[in-house]
C-alpha cells in the first residue's frame, strides 16, 4: 500500500498549502479517530499538543473537529514539547496522541505527528492504514456519540516533574550558570523552569514566542545567539533546543558545539561503565559520523545504524531491547526516560555528568575526532525525481568509487522537505568537497 501523505515524521508542509490545510487536518483527524475508535461502546480520548506557530491554532481546531466527529474526546494541552505528548498519551490512558509541529523548520511550515496508546510514534503500517481510510468515506459518530473537547492545565506540569525526576536525586545544579535556548518554541516555559528548580542560575534565550519567530536565529539549528549568551554571561554551559524540544545541541563554556553524535558517544561510554547500556549497543542513523563508530568500537560498543528519522531509531531500539540511541541532529532517545527524542532530558543528563565528574563542559563536549563531513541540499519541485536521471546516477557511482576505502557517500530525499540531501565523509576534505559539488551540480542540471 503506497503512502503519499505521511513522510518520515508524520505529515508536514507549508501552512495553508496542501497538505497543511484546515480541510486536510479535519479529514485526517476523522480518519485517525475512526482508526483508533474501533470499539463504539466505550469512550475514547486523545491528547493534542502543539508548538508556538501561528498556524497551530488553525490545525488544532481542525483536528479537534475531525476527531470529535468520530466520537473521540479531545484533551488540549496547549504548547508542550513533543516528548510530553508521548508521555501524556500513555500516562493519561489516551488512545492517541497528536503533536502539531514542524520541529526545527521555519514558522511558515507545520506538521502533524501521531502517537499510539503506548506513547510511541505510529508505525509505517498504521500510517498507511490511516491514509487508506482517507481515500474512502469515513463513518462518523451518531449525534449522541459526538466527542467533547476541553483544555487541561496540568499537562505541562506533569511533563516538567517527569523531566526533573530523570536527574539524579543526589545531585543539584547549584553554582552552575546555564544558558537555555528554547528556540521561541514549545519548551519556552518548561525548560527554564526545570533548570531553575534544580538549582541552576538560568540565562534564557528564545523564550518570547510570537507565532512567527520559532527557530528564527535561535535554537539547535542556529546556536550563535546562545553562544553569545554563554560568553557574555560567563556561563558554564549552553543547552539549545529546537522548536518542539525533541532535539538538543550542547555548548561548552567557550561556545563550542557538541552535536548529537558527541553527546551519544559520551553517554554510551559512561552508560557502559555503569552497566546501563543494553547489549553494549548504541543505535544511530546512517548520518552519524564515522568517527563515532570508530570511537565506540574502541570501547567495545556496537553501533547499529538505521534509516534517517528518530522513529526508525526508536523502532530498532524497541525490537532489540536497546536503551540508548539517536541522531547526529540532536535527537537523543533514552527509553528509560522517554518514548522519543527529548532535548531537555538529554541536556539534564549532560549536566549530571558535569556535576558528578566535576569536569567543565569543554572536557566532556568532544569524545572523538569526527571525520570531515559535508552536507549540501538541492531543492526540487514536486513530481520530479532527479535521482533517477542517468547523469546523476553516473555522478553518484563516480563519487562512491573515488571515496572507496577512505570515506562514504549518502544521497537521499528529505522526508520533511522537497530537498535532495547529499552527504559525504572522507579523510581527505578536499576530495569530499569535490565529490559533493559534482553530485549537486549533476542534480541541478537534471532538474
Q: How far is CA 419 from CA 399, 416, 435, in A?
A: 20, 8, 18
Query: What is 260-290 written as a DSSP string?
Result: HHHHHHHHHHHHHHHT-SGGGEEEEETTS-H
Q: At what angle do helices 343-357 and 260-274 cross, to 10 degrees?
A: 60
Cα(8)–Cα(98) distance, rounded to whole angstroms?
Answer: 15
Question: From the candidates 55, 103, 220, 329, which is the catalytic residue?
Answer: 103
Check if the beta carbon of residue 96 is closer than 8 Å to that of residue 72.
yes
Nearest partner of 181 among 341, 337, 347, judged by Cα: 347
C-alpha cell at 71: 466520537
* Burial of 369 (C-beta count, 10 Å sphere; 0-12/13-18/19+): exposed
Query: What is 285-339 written as a DSSP string?
Result: ETTS-HHHHHHHHHTT-EEEEE-SSHHHHHHHHHHHT--EEE-TTS-EEETTT-S
Nearest partner of 27 among 142, 143, 134, judged by Cα: 134
CB atoms within 10 A of CB 110: 26
The three-state secondary structure class of 145 is helix
Nearest partner of 442 among 355, 380, 374, 353, judged by Cα: 380
How many DSSP H helices and E strands does the chain contain? 14, 18
Cα(44)–Cα(30) distance, rounded to whole angstroms?
Answer: 13
Cα(366)–Cα(261) distance, rounded to whole angstroms?
Answer: 9
Nearest partner of 44 among 95, 98, 87, 116, judged by Cα: 95
Active site residue 69: no
Torsion angle of C-alpha atoms 309, 315, 321, 327, degrees rounded to 10: 0
Cα(366)–Cα(182) distance, rounded to whole angstroms?
Answer: 23
- Looking at the annotation, which residues are catalytic? 103
Amino acid at each position: 500500500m503506497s503512502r503519499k501523505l505521511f513522510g518520515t515524521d508524520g505529515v508536514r508542509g507549508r501552512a495553508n498549502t496542501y497538505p497543511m490545510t484546515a480541510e486536510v487536518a479535519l479529514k485526517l483527524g476523522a480518519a485517525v479517530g475512526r482508526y483508533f475508535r474501533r470499539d463504539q461502546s466505550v469512550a475514547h480520548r486523545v491528547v493534542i499538543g502543539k508548538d508556538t506557530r501561528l498556524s497551530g491554532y488553525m490545525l488544532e481546531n481542525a483536528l479537534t473537529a475531525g476527531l470529535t466527529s468520530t466520537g473521540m474526546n479531545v484533551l488540549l494541552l496547549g504548547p508542550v514539547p513533543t516528548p510530553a505528548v508521548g508521555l501524556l498519551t500513555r500516562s493519561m490512558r489516551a488512545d492517541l496522541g497528536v503533536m502539531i509541529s514542524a520541529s526545527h523548520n521555519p514558522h511558515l511550515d507545520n506538521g502533524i505527528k501521531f502517537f499510539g496508546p503506548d506513547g510511541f510514534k505510529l508505525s509505517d503500517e498504521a500510517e498507511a492504514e490511516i491514509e487508506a481510510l482517507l481515500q474512502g468515506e469515513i463513518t462518523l459518530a451518531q449525534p449522541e456519540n459526538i466527542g467533547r473537547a476541553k483544555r487541561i492545565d496540568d499537562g505541562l506540569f506533569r511533563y516538567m516533574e517527569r523531566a526533573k525526576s530523570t536527574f539524579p536525586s543526589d545531585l543539584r545544579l547549584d553554582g552552575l550558570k546555564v544558558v537555555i535556548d528554547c528556540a521561541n518554541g514549545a519548551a519556552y516555559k518548561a525548560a527554564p523552569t526545570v533548570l531553575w528548580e534544580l538549582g541552576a542560575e538560568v540565562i534564557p534565550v528564545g523564550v518570547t514566542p510570537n507565532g512567527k519567530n520559532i527557530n528564527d536565529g535561535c535554537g539547535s539549528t542556529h546556536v550563535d545567539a546562545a553562544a553569545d549568551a554563554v560568553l557574555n554571561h560567563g556561563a558554564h554551559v549552553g543547552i539549545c533546543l529546537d522548536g518542539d524540544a525533541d532535539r538538543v545541541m550542547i555548548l561548552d563554556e567557550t561556545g563550542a558545539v557538541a552535536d548529537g553524535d558527541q553527546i551519544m558517544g559520551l553517554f554510551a561510554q559512561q552508560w557502559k561503565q555503569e552497566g546501563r547500556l543494553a547489549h553494549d549497543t548504541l543505535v544511530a542513523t546512517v548520518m552519524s559520523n564515522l568517527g563515532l563508530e570508530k570511537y565506540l568500537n574502541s570501547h567495545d560498543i556496537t553501533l547499529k545504524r538505521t534509516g534517517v528519522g528518530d522513529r526508525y531509531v526508536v523502532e530498532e531500539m524497541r525490537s532489540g531491547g536497546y536503551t540508548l540511541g539517536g541522531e547526529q541532529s540532536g535527537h537523543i532517545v533514552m527509553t528509560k526516560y522517554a518514548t522519543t527524542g527529548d532535548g531537555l532530558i538529554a541536556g539534564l543528563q549532560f549536566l549530571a555528568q558535569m556535576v558528578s565528574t566535576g569536569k567543565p563542559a569543554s572536557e566532556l563536549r568532544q569524545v572523538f575526532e569526527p571525520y570531515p563531513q559535508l552536507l549540501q541540499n538541492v531543492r526540487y519541485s514536486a513530481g520530479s525525481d532527479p535521482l533517477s536521471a542517468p547523469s546523476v546516477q553516473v555522478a553518484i557511482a563516480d563519487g562512491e568509487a573515488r571515496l572507496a576505502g577512505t570515506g562514504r557517500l549518502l544521497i537521499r530525499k528529505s522526508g520533511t522537505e522537497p530537498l535532495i540531501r547529499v552527504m559525504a565523509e572522507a579523510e581527505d576534505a578536499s576530495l569530499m568537497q569535490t565529490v559533493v559539488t559534482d553530485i549537486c551540480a549533476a542534480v541541478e542540471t537534471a532538474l
